Amino acid sequence: MKKLLTIGLGLLLSTQLFAADFDLKATMKQMKQTFKQAAQAQTIEEMQQPIIDLNQLVEQAKQGDYPPEKKDIYLEGFNKLTVALEKIETDLQAGQFEAAKESLKQIDGLREEYHDKRNPSIWQRLFG
C-alpha cells in the first residue's frame, strides 16, 4: 500500500512538473503587456520593439505542450497571430503607421475570438 502511494505521489509530481514546463498563463500576461505597449506607440520606432517581443512570445506559446483536444485550436490561433504580426512588421518597415495600427486591431480580434473558443458557452457545450 505504501509502495502504491509512493508511486502515485511520484506520478502526480511528475505530471505537475510536466505541466509547469511551459506557463501559458504567464506568457499570455506578457503578451497583454507588450500588446499594450504596441497599441500606445506614437511612432513607427516605438511600435517596432513590442511587435518583435510579441512575435517571440507567440513563438514560445507555439512550443507549449497542450492537451490534444486543445492543441489544434490553440495553434490555429497562434498561427493567425503570426500572420497578423508579420503584416504589421511589413507595414512598419514600409513606413505605413496607420496600416500597422489597423492590423494591430486584428490581434485584438483574434484574442477575443480564441478566448471565446476557450470558454464555450453552456449552449455550445450542450448543442454545439
Continuous segment of H or E residues that includes residue 72:
helix 68-93
Residue of 29, 72, 90, 94 interacting with ligand HEM (CB under 6 A): 29
In angstroms, the CA 10 to CA 16 distance is 10
Secondary structure string (H, E, C) spanning 77-100? HHHHHHHHHHHHHHHHHCCCHHHH
> By the 8 A CB rule, do 58 and 82 touch?
yes
Interface pick for ligand HEM out of 32, 65, 109, 124 (rule CB under 6 A) = 32
Can residue 74 be called a binding residue for ligand HEM (CB under 6 A)? Answer: yes
Is residue 22 a contact point for ligand HEM (CB under 6 A)? no
* Position among 22, 44, 62, 114 found at the interface with ligand HEM (CB under 6 A): 114
Q: What residues contact residue 113 under an 8 Å CB cut-off, 6+ apart? A: 77
Q: Is 77 in the site for ligand HEM (CB under 6 A)?
A: yes
Q: Does 31 bind ligand HEM (CB under 6 A)?
A: yes
SS3 107: helix
Please report whether residue 52 would count as binding ligand HEM according to CB under 6 A. Answer: no
Residue among 32 and 105 whose Cβ is closer to ligand HEM: 32
Please report, as ranges, the residues that interact with ligand HEM according to CB under 6 A.
Answer: 24-25, 28-29, 31-32, 35, 74, 77-78, 81, 107, 110-111, 114-115, 118
